[in-house]
Structure 1
């Protein structure tokens, strides 16, 4: 394909739309409130706003590919069916590998009228027969509902280790950056937590996943330069982040510490990177964030972390809160954290939550997790009936 220069997005690059584009969007609802969780069984939910409508993509709900939902108000969602199929003409993945090909964490971006889907899957080039052979691909479509076709018959690039959880940020200077998580697989790391686990007889080693960033070529055909390490679990137990980021180990859920599901945006010349730590399948999955003055760091983690976590220890019913994206209300005035979690009723099934969030004075706060009724997103017209 011919190279092009991406649109100059800021928040729009992350969320798939600008607040201005929504100023006239006022969908109607017959209720004045909504409650979490939403009736969408997705992990890793990502929301795009384009052409006056929201689209949600996530892990699950499709046969070795990806499905989508659409909405006018962020609350009521309609199934759009499967939008990406692994057997498209340029498909590079292995649907017969572990986890049915591991089609995970799709994100879709509107760039000059084309829709680009970044995702993780098992690569069919696997001469050493690795169980976790994940790479990141990109597919394109003319509509947000697909069908998406891979740009080429290979991943975006091969760093030499398994990677998942792609997130793309378009800076105001026109450059695009790809963020991803290096998997824990065969990545044991020495740390105070690893030493503690050995002394306690919990695990012989602790594997870790780390978040990296790298500049993307303008046509998404590859990367520019070498990936830069941006976030990793704390090395020292004295680090204030160590306690919450090590719960998968100290609670004996797994011999791994995760740093994954990153999402980056820019506000007031500050780069914010939200991320998830701990086992996605456990109750301690939670969200933190870090800030930087440039898109490739260095990033400093917030002392407020975690900013979203389980609430069962406070009388609630929600666990496993993580891997978020960001969306705005129809009038653009409210910011929402879109994430997956579990409740006592949903069991192991991951379902979607949306809760209000704010970025003020360099701090991110999220009013969640909630399960009680709350007001509809601002700009949603209602009939006045409860």
Structure 2
């Protein structure tokens, strides 16, 4: 079963890679500073990274079911957002049972149906082939029970034809009560979308399923969505590549749910806008309120994170010219929409001055952006305050301008599905502080975090003391302050996490291999580690110590490699910071593979960003590999063969950089999910071979990111032959 799963997942990644390469992986958009109207209500709707939204209204509450993004190839917790006023959205991690034999990791593109007072949840998963699974509950938020106890899919891989990946299912209930499903991804490879009827008696199997030929949905990729306008069936879908600015929404129409479909006018009806403030919009659903229609979709974050899987949910008005024609949507960062038309509690912190212990300045290729403190008071889910480093404590202080009654504080942290530990204090003069709420031992995730009290204060200070996951920053989308208590739509609360708080960086040099101290030999047996982890490295296969023509003593790799007898420490897990610095000389560099060092377990998750390794080759993962070309980093200028080079790979929890001989060569914004369980330090190869075939004079690894000045100093100190 595991082998079959790995084969399916390899296929998934290869297909995604091919799609990306066809669309031009290296195409990026210049990211300039974008001013935001300080008092406007702004898209995105949700404070966090979520994608593939399905919006529903059950009773007087709106629900958004979505893929949890920015975690292991968009494989975060199964969550739902709910709201009555479209202003304050509440996040809840749903109780969705795992599979019988393996954990539930993928929760992709969910959809939900209400039928006879019960709720049926469907989502895609690629752990045992790419299938659609079904669950049922008496409430829209669970707890959920499997429709099939034996883990049988509702829509299986290879259905309705061989090789067809069953993902991105959306269901449509017609006016006669029949329920139709539409599904498929990478359809430009797989001959178009699929359509079938959901068995209304069981709600867990499909019947009369057919293919919708590609010619009926031109330029299609994934994310089919069916709706009805008058007597016309409108099949909407996403085209191009979800990883870049080409992603868009299109549609076709027909007289029956099965087609044949005619491509609609004005296609694509939703695409990247001219100033690229709405970048790569797609994979949507539609909300109808009376005669009004709203398209709810995701777009890329700003500044855009590498790979395009840090997406955010937005809403815009969608207008029909007639029953078979949709106008092009004008996507906006402004132009807030509130179909609920409910009264919104007054946020005392809106646009108030804010200061912080630090703020991250992202300065790099076409990017100059500061995550400044005031971005936490602008009521804008596109912007956030982020501290300058992922070390704690970090604090944020808001000045209300005058003493006010404060009864409730909402804190929307960057990652809603992980817990943050924090303390809220209040003061009248900014000098003498009292505790409003002490959550320094908190282990409950959620957004917003809600803290109630009843005090008078001019200043509110948030001090973040820790996080659940290694390497996460103190970062807040919005901090909202209220002078009254008000209704929360549902009386539900997230469960406490079983995970302890993250282990912070100790600012140490963990590994230090100095070959200059070794004796020339046909093959080393062990080499002592001079770093704080201690222990030693042993050779697997032959790893000789040789001298080159300049008299530099170095390890010569080929078929052998070194492994450490010390486990990979916890501070390197997840999004933990690091630096790997090494002196190398490779006689041949114009090839792939060639791994200098790895420290993650590639087989633990096999999802993008869960694997980290440093390379020296000419491929797309030439400098750093993360299991997927969408996230890997190449050398911009490949270091010359048969010359000594000082190569340094750094990651500070935000940006990954590769330096060549003290000069920054490439960089990219990243979020990692490093899998270190049962991982080991490997020097001269990866956990799947990929052997390095050159010389290595030294190697150091740190549990923090060195800055350029320190890198240049290290280069001089460790230069071979000195």
Q: TM-score of the superposition, structure 2-length normalised?
A: 0.38
Whether 1:141 aligns to 2:157 is no
Indicate the structure whose relative CO is greater, using CA pairs within 8 Å and at least 6 residues apart: 1
Partner of 2:179: 176
DSSP 3-state at the match of 1:306: coil
Closer, same or farther in 2 for the Cα pair 1:58/1:177, shift >3 Å? same
User: Hey, what does 1:78 align to over in structure 2?
Assistant: 90
Q: How does 1:181-200 map to 2 (within 5 A)?
A: 181-183=184-186
1:374 matched to 2:336? The reply is yes
Residue matched to 2:292: 334
Match of 1:36 in 2: 43
Kindly indicate whether residue 249 of structure 2 is the aligned counterpart of residue 287 of structure 1.
Answer: yes
The residue that corresponds to 2:382 in the other structure is none
Q: After TM superposition, give the deviation of residue 103 of structure 1 in Å.
A: 2.1
Q: 2:283 aligns with which of 314, 323, 326?
A: 323
Q: Trace 1:295-314 onto structure 2 (pairs within 5 A).
A: 295-311=257-273, 314=274
Cα drift, residue 55 of structure 1:
0.9
Aligned-pair distance for 1:183? 4.2
1-side partners of 2:141 and 2:286: how far apart? 20
**CA apart distance, 1:209:** 6.1
Q: Distance in 2 between matches of 1:169 and 1:369?
A: 25
Instruction: Compute the displacement of 1:326 (Å).
Output: 0.9
* Shift in CA distance, 368/92, structure 1 to aligned 2, threshold 3 Å: farther
How far apart, CA to CA, are the structure 1 residues paired with 2:127 and 2:44? 33
- CA shift for structure 1 position 363: 1.2
- Superposed counterparts of 1:216-365, under 5 Å: 216-218=198-200, 219-225=202-208, 227-232=209-214, 245=219, 258-311=220-273, 314-329=274-289, 332-347=290-305, 348=308, 349-361=310-322, 362-365=324-327
For 1:167 and 1:83, the matched residues in 2 are separated by 20
The CA deviation at 1:94 is 4.9
Q: How far apart in 2 are the matches of 1:287 and 1:93?
A: 37
Distance 1:55 1:375 in 2: 16
Distance (Å, rounded) in 1 between the aligned partners of 2:304 and 2:87: 18
CA offsets, 1:33-84, max 9 Å, x none?
A: 521122242110111110210111111169765101101133431112x214
Equivalenced residues, count? 294
* 1:202-251 CA-partner distances (Å, limit 9, x unpaired): xxxxx3562110111112131222x22225268xxxxxx86xx3xxxxxx
CA distance in 1 between counterparts of 2:62 and 2:82 reads: 5
Instruction: Check 1:259–1:289 CA distance in 2 against 1; reply closer, same or farther (3 A cut).
Output: same
Q: Secondary structure at the match of 1:85?
A: coil
* TM-score, normalised via structure 1 length: 0.69
CA apart distance, 1:182 = 4.8
Matched residues in 2 for 1:155 and 1:321: separation? 29
- 1: distance between equivalents of 2:223 and 2:87? 23
| 1:324 and 1:337 in contact (8 A); partners too | yes
For the 8 Å contact 2:53–2:283, the answer to whether it is kept is yes
1:116 and 1:143 map into 2 onto residues whose CA distance is: 9
Q: Is the 8 A contact 2:185 2:223 kept in 1?
A: no
Contact 2:80 2:91 in 1 (8 A): yes
SS at match of 1:34: coil
How much does 1:382 deviate?
A: 5.4
Q: What's the secondary structure of 1:73's corresponding residue?
A: coil
1:55-70 matches, within 5 Å, as 55-60=63-68, 65-70=77-82
Tell me the distance in 2 between the aligned counterparts of 1:74 and 1:232: 37
Aligned-partner Cα distance in 2 for 1:374–1:43: 19
Distance 1:171 1:328, change over 3 A: closer
Contact 2:269 2:329 in 1 (8 A): no
Matching of residues 110-129 of structure 1 within 5 Å: 110-124=114-128
- Structure 2 CA distance, aligned partners of 1:210 and 1:217? 23
1:92 Cα offset (Å): 6.1
Q: Which moved more, 1:53-62 or 1:143-152?
A: 53-62
**Are the aligned partners of 1:104 and 1:120 in contact in 2 as well (CA < 8 Å)?**
yes
Query: Quick one: distance in 1 between partners of 2:334 and 2:177?
Result: 41
Distance 1:383 1:366 in 2: 34
Q: State how far apart, in whole Å, the 1-side matches of 2:141 and 2:283 are.
A: 22
The CA distance in 2 between the partners of 1:342 and 1:109, in whole Å, is: 28
**C-alpha distance in 2, partners of 1:92/1:151?**
13
CA contact (8 A) 2:265 2:325 kept: no
The equivalent residue for 2:379 is: none
- Over 3 Å counting, the alpha-carbon distance change for 1:92 and 1:162 in structure 2 is farther
Q: Equivalents in 2 of 1:164, 1:322: separation in Å?
A: 16
